[in-house]
Amino acid sequence: MDPPTAEAVLQSVFTLYNNPNKQEKETASKWLEEFQKSIHSWEIADQLLQRKHDLNSCTFAAQTMRNKIQNSFHELPEAAHESLRQSLLEHISHITLETKPVIVTQLSLALADLALLMSSWRKPVVTLLERFSNNPNMMYAVIELLTLIPEEINSRYLRLGANRRKDVLTELETDSNLVGEYLLMCLMNCNDNELLQMKILKCFTSWVNINAFNLSLIGDNLIIAYSFQLLTNINTKSEIHDAATDCLCGLLQCLEMNNNGDGLDVKLFNGILSLDEAYNTSVAQEDLDKSMNLCRLFTVLVESNLTRMVAGSEAAAPHYSIKALELVLICVGHYDFEVAEITFNMWYRLSEDLYQRNNEALTAHFKPYVERLIAALYKHCQMEADHEGLIEEGDTFKDFRFKVSEIIKDVIFIVSSISCFKQMFLILQTPNVTWESSEAALFIMENVARNILPEESEVVPKVVEAILNLPSNCHIAIRYTSINILGELCDWIDNNPETLEPILNFLLCALQQKNGLATAAANALQSICSACKKHMLGHISGLMEIARCLDGFEIQTESAIGLLKGISIIIGRLPPEQLTAAMQELCGFQVRALGQLTSGEDDGLTLKRDRHDPVFWVDRLASIYRHVNPEVSANDVNPCVFVIVSNWSILSRAMECYKNDPKTMERIVRCIRYAIRCVGKQAMPILESLVKQIITIYSGHNHSCLLYLGSILVDEFACQPSCIEGLLSMLQAFIEPTFQVLQVENGLKDHPDMVDDFFRLVARFIQRSPFQLLQSPLVTPIIQCGLLACTLDHRDANLSVMRFFCSLLSYGRHDRANELRSIVHSILMQHGESLIMNLLYASVFCLHSYMLSDVADVFVEIKHLSPHQLEGYVQKAVDALPKKNSGGSITVTNEQMIEFVENIVKSETPRAVTQALQDFARLYR
């Protein structure tokens, strides 16, 4: 863009905020976005801040300055850093309590980020305190700056690098005493200004969170004492109560990481234990915010002591810190379930630790607490007495009950499933028990039923009998949860087949109900079919009748598909001749409807919900193909072949009919994939027709799912010599349209699914038919595309690219054919340097840390081929990386470069290479 003027920017800002014309607003917004990206925005933002024309222009200028420093600091030469610093300090000096918070925050962020990036600015904290600490009007601005500097240290935008970050942290540690003294002075002189008090606490917390303070020296710090005072005072306002809670939580987490508090941990522990009265007061006053804050503090207290609590309880007596669980359980008993929910992660962590240690005596210390937890959750899970129907989807109470299910499954081993089941059954037998109490008890039972031993004969038979004899007038929620219990008891039912017929009759009756019961019954039937395959064979006629009537039941789509899964599993165990007939009939219901839709004869289908959507029928058919899995010996004809070949014409017609619809195409391709997997090489009769059709469709509609289907065909048929030429032609036909999409600007980034599916296809080809692909001229452009795709930060796509390179390079090992080895070594000579260069660049600048293990696999494969070449490639790649960041600080030293190269070369495992890559990448992040 042409160099803009300050007046032009002011006009655009005015238009953006004040012009009623939407089109002109959008034009102004786009122009301002482009302006912020330009090099000219540095100077003009500075001018606008000096002019103070109006609030909107000052806010925009401050945001622009912050944005430029965060994202475009490299645009400024080092010589301009000092003038930028002076300018920002000048703007900061004009901040008062009346300045709008958004401007204060943006300017403070800009200066804080500059202080971190600008390595030539030594002791920025000292500079700020020397310049502004004696000016009481600057207190607000200085505290904001002192808060943001430690908070921004780990900003992902700044890419400070590990060396710079370490230097800054060391510097801040030496400055922490000055900051602590300044904050105490501010606290004593803030004249009970609650905004300043809150800011002081937040600032102190931000320095605690980076472990800047020496914990052994701050035990008597007045700010900590003040935090306790605020939490004890019933009149403390919510915002400052939040800040005090954050402060103490930060200290606890800091102590958990660095247990060198020299008594601070005991002081905090005892101080927090004494807050039980403050919690009780918050409950009595129905102050939910304070109750949640204190619950959070009690929970963090347990979490910070968890390792010591568990390890120290392996003796006869539990560790003293176990008392903190009492506080947490008091909170779990709060009348609002949102308070109980705060504790859930702590219970999960506790259960994980106990499970790993597998010590019955140790677990026994925690059993009473978990029993009380479950008892409290049972009460929280009770519906309102006047509630009618089931809990609706999206209801926060339903979400809470789902989380309760998860936490019960995590902790139940501590108290044993059958013990919990019995306890809840006793509640059901209580005289005059209310329906909501019964339903909640059944809900808890539902979540432990799957863990009950199939041999149990004392309680479960009584529960099953009670469910089968539920009175017709019982609340629908009780009936719904009881049906779910039967589904969860599927393994027990398999071991007690005499109960199967009455249970199936009960569920068949429920299938014909409405208001959610049919869906629950379908889900339960699916579970029983999956677990009771042997016993369900005798009921196949009843299951087929259910399939015939499926559209007459009020079942959610996913549950209907699940029910078809269950029926398909049973069909898969039938003798071959019966299997073909049953599968043909089951598929027929779906294929007929799909045939009507694809031929335009959908009369009657459109009247029923989403029956006019082809996906509705395709997904059902896919479920059948996926789960009819007969056991077929190598030389026998798969009884599913006849069905799949017969139905192919309908699926082929559907692909042609819906080739313009990506969503529908994806589901049709998924269905074909399951069909191919079902019969494997016996799908040969449809192979040629299928390949021709997907090539034709892909040339005009670049659906990446067709590439994925191609990889399935390669996986199944590439080991057949007669198929290789056709499959190679298919790959060649895919390449041109694929590369046309990926080679445009941002093509790789905008189409990660295509990258994923294309390289999955190529990797499969290399695995199944390496000679034919590696000897073809296709391999070079594929490798070149893979080199570009190395930097793609999409997990699945990048993984497929890495697996392609690993599959390719693996054929260079000594246990492979000589001809293949020589081809791979030639490829490595030609592309190895570029590959390592791109992989290292991607690891440092583009990929998430968790993705580097996939990159490491490629490094290891190259090492297997030629360790010496790997060392040379890595050395060149390291030399090509920048050694300083945009702020002028050293990103990587010569010693660190040498160490990294040595670590890569000597590493024997992918895990060791991953660690080396992650450590090196941190130097740039």
Rounded Cα gap, residues 67 and 61, in angstroms: 10
Instruction: Answer whether residue 607 shows pLDDT above 50.
Output: no
Rounded Cα gap, residues 373 and 715, in angstroms: 51
Residues 521, 486 contacting (CB under 8 angstroms): no
Instruction: Answer whether residue 753 shows pLDDT above 60.
Output: yes
Cα angle 87, 88, 93; round to 5: 100
Rounded Cα gap, residues 163 and 919, in angstroms: 11
Instruction: Answer whether residue 290 shows pLDDT above 60.
Output: yes
Task: List alpha helices for 512-556, DSSP H.
Answer: 517-531, 533-536, 540-548
* % of residues, the chain, pLDDT over 70: 98
Smallest CA-to-CA distance from 311 within 365, 270, 259 is with 365
For 313-320, the CB contacts below 8 A with 24+ separation are: 313/362, 313/365, 313/366, 314/357, 314/359, 314/361, 314/362, 318/365
Summarised one tens digit per residue, pLDDT across range 415-446 is 999 999 999 999 999 999 999 999 999 999 99
Q: DSSP letter at 598?
A: H
Q: What is the amino acid identity at position 673?
A: R
Q: DSSP letter at 885?
A: -
Summarised one tens digit per residue, pLDDT across range 353-375 is 999 999 999 999 999 999 999 99
598-to-111, 652, 655, 702 alpha-carbon distances in Å: 63, 10, 9, 21
Phi/psi of residue 662, each to 5°? Answer: -55, -40
Residues 433, 474 contacting (CB under 8 angstroms): no
Q: Mean pLDDT across the stretch 551-568?
A: 95
Summarised one tens digit per residue, pLDDT across range 112-129 is 999 999 999 999 999 999
Residues 617, 595 contacting (CB under 8 angstroms): no
Summarised one tens digit per residue, pLDDT across range 225-265 is 999 999 999 999 999 999 999 999 999 999 988 766 578 99
Q: Mean pLDDT across the stretch 736-756?
A: 96
- pLDDT number for residue 316: 83
Output Rg (C-alpha) for the chain, integer angstroms.
Answer: 34
Q: Mean pLDDT across the stretch 64-86?
A: 93
Q: What is the amino acid identity at position 585?
A: E
- pLDDT number for residue 269: 95
Q: What is the amino acid identity at position 451?
A: N
Summarised one tens digit per residue, pLDDT across range 840-861 is 999 999 999 999 999 999 999 9
- pLDDT number for residue 98: 83
- pLDDT number for residue 259: 67
- pLDDT number for residue 1: 57
- pLDDT number for residue 229: 97
Q: Which SS3 state, helix, strand or coil, does residue 315 take?
A: coil
Q: Which SS3 state, helix, strand or coil, does residue 326 take?
A: helix
Q: Mean pLDDT across the stretch 473-490?
A: 97
Instruction: Answer whether residue 324 shows pLDDT above 70.
Output: yes
Q: Return the structure tokens found at 690.
A: 């299928």
